[in-house]
Amino acid sequence: EDKVVQSPLSLVVHEGDTVTLNCSYEVTNFRSLLWYKQEKKAPTFLFMLTSSGIEKKSGRLSSILDKKELFSILNITATQTGDSAIYLCAVLRGGSNYKLTFGKGTLLTVNP
């Protein structure tokens, strides 16, 4: 059974802080790891990571994957109140059984 574990489950910070969200996984035939942001609606895609050690960056957000240790981190610098959301990590299985398995998410609250 594929397993995705995120930590922390919840995090409260002040605007301007930097946060690191963690995701570890166990999956048969790993293909990629994806990060999504979910506010009160559908998850929106942030990053897809397939190779170890290559940082992906988008503005204040960045993410990296370690395939040897089976984890990924999502960093958000200079947080803003608009970053408040649930951040979901998901792993995509390869082969012929296409399945995206989600972790329980990290609820980030950024206070002004």
Q: Count other Cβ atoms within 10 Å, centred on residue 36.
A: 19
- Nearest CB to another protein, comparing residues 34 and 74: 34
- Nearest CB to another protein, comparing residues 76 and 103: 103
Closest approach of Cβ 66 to another protein, in Å? 20
Task: Please report where in the chains the tokens 């995090």 appear, as a residue.
Answer: 11
Closest approach of Cβ 19 to another protein, in Å? 19
Closest approach of Cβ 23 to another protein, in Å? 12
List of residues contacting another protein (CB under 8 A): 31-32, 34, 36, 41-45, 48, 88, 92-94, 96-105
Query: Could you tell me which residues come within 8 angstroms of residue 7 by beta carbon, excluding any fewer than 6 positions away?
Result: 21, 22, 24, 106
The distance of Cα 32 from the centroid of its chain, to the nearest Å, equals: 12
Query: Could you tell me which residues come within 8 angstroms of residue 97 by beta carbon, excluding any fewer than 6 positions away?
Result: none
- Nearest CB to another protein, comparing residues 2 and 66: 2
Closest approach of Cβ 28 to another protein, in Å? 11
- Per the structure block, which two tokens stand in for 8? 């922390």
